[in-house]
Amino acid sequence: GEHGEHGEEGEEEEHEFMFTNSDVQVAWMLLGSVSFVMGLLYLVNWRDDDIRRYTWKIISTTISIFLAVLLFQGFNEVLMLVVAGFGEKTIALFQILHCTVYIVVLQFTIAFVSGAICEDAVNLDEEVWVINDALREDNGEAVPPAMLNRIRRLEKRRSAYEDEDGLEIPVIKVKKELDSRTLTMQCSARLLAHMAGFACINSGGTMQNLSIFRHRPLLTLVPLFITQIFIMAVFSCFGFLRRWLIEARKSKAGGMGRRAVMYDEEVFEAENDISALSSSFLLVQVFRFALTGVL
């Protein structure tokens, strides 16, 4: 009998599961992730408009930054495979050209989206009725022409109409074309500005690790100035082209001058982001090298 009891205790000890540190860390990660998502859902449905607006703004910025990092790293890996056989100075040159490509793409993308180029006259001030219900999948879309005659109080900016099923759909009158272009410009400019900023950081960091700079902290400031002077020169060239475009389109009908101004303002903000992001990161690397000896 005693032998049988000892045998059962031995089997229980053998089957006892021990959690490793990795198991505990993964468990905390899962709990934290679920709690984080639940917190976001709570904030985006908060009763205060400002809380909801800034929550969505933070989410959008975070997604933009991580997407820009992943896209840049992917393109940069391809570039490094192409220039693998070149010297370190040539690779540094390719990196600064890589940054220039993003700046050029940024300029032409925003110019095209804004309608400053490749587009004729457009009425940006035209107001149309759109769906104003955040819980609907067609929120923000124009009200179907067949439903326009069902809208109550057409003289107001906010109203509602009944669809075929008798459901009341809230609507609002907005400048849809202008709002759509503004949103697309902001999205494109932010993503491309982050990609250009990371490319500028990478080019400056590559130069800081060149044999002529990496021996003294003070010398690592030189790549910072080189990259900033270079991108400022590129910005100045495109700034001249934008001012010329504004003057050329100013007297034309169809809002061409206005679209050129929209393009200029959006790109100017993006250029500031590129310069601030890259210069601050490279300057921190200089301080780290001076304090720790690690570049």
Q: Give mean pLDDT, residues 18-22.
A: 86
pLDDT at position 130 over 80: yes
Q: Give mean pLDDT, residues 135-143.
A: 83
In this structure, which long-range contacts are made by residues 135-140, counting pairs with CB atoms below 8 Å and at least 24 apart in sequence? Answer: 136/169
Task: Find residue 170's DSSP bridge partners.
Answer: 160
Q: Which residue has the higher pLDDT, 175 or 255?
A: 175
Q: What is the pTM of this model?
A: 0.82
* Portion of the chain with pLDDT greater than 90, in percent: 51
Domain boundaries, the chain: 83-123+177-292, 128-174
Taking the C-alpha atoms of residue 76 and residue 266, their distance in angstroms, rounded to an integer, is: 26
Beta carbons within 8 Å of 128's beta carbon, 6+ residues apart: 142, 143, 173, 174, 176
For 256-276, the pLDDT digits (tens) are: 778 888 999 999 999 999 999
Q: Which residue has the higher pLDDT, 281 or 251?
A: 281
Taking the C-alpha atoms of residue 295 and residue 280, their distance in angstroms, rounded to an integer, is: 15
For residue 293, the model assigns a pLDDT of: 84
Q: What is the largest CA-CA distance in the chain?
A: 105
CA distances from 264 to 112, 145, 241, 273 (A): 12, 35, 10, 14
For residue 38, the model assigns a pLDDT of: 94
Q: Which residue has the higher pLDDT, 125 or 29?
A: 29
- Under DSSP, is residue 288 helix (H, G, I), strand (E, B) or coil? helix
Is beta strand 158-162 parallel, antiparallel or unpaired with respect to 128-131?
unpaired
Taking the C-alpha atoms of residue 111 and residue 249, their distance in angstroms, rounded to an integer, is: 13
* Portion of the chain with pLDDT greater than 70, in percent: 93
Smallest Cα–Cα separation from 198: which of 165, 231, 162, 170? 231
Quick one: 117 exposed, middle or buried, by C-beta within 10 A (0-12, 13-18, 19+)? middle
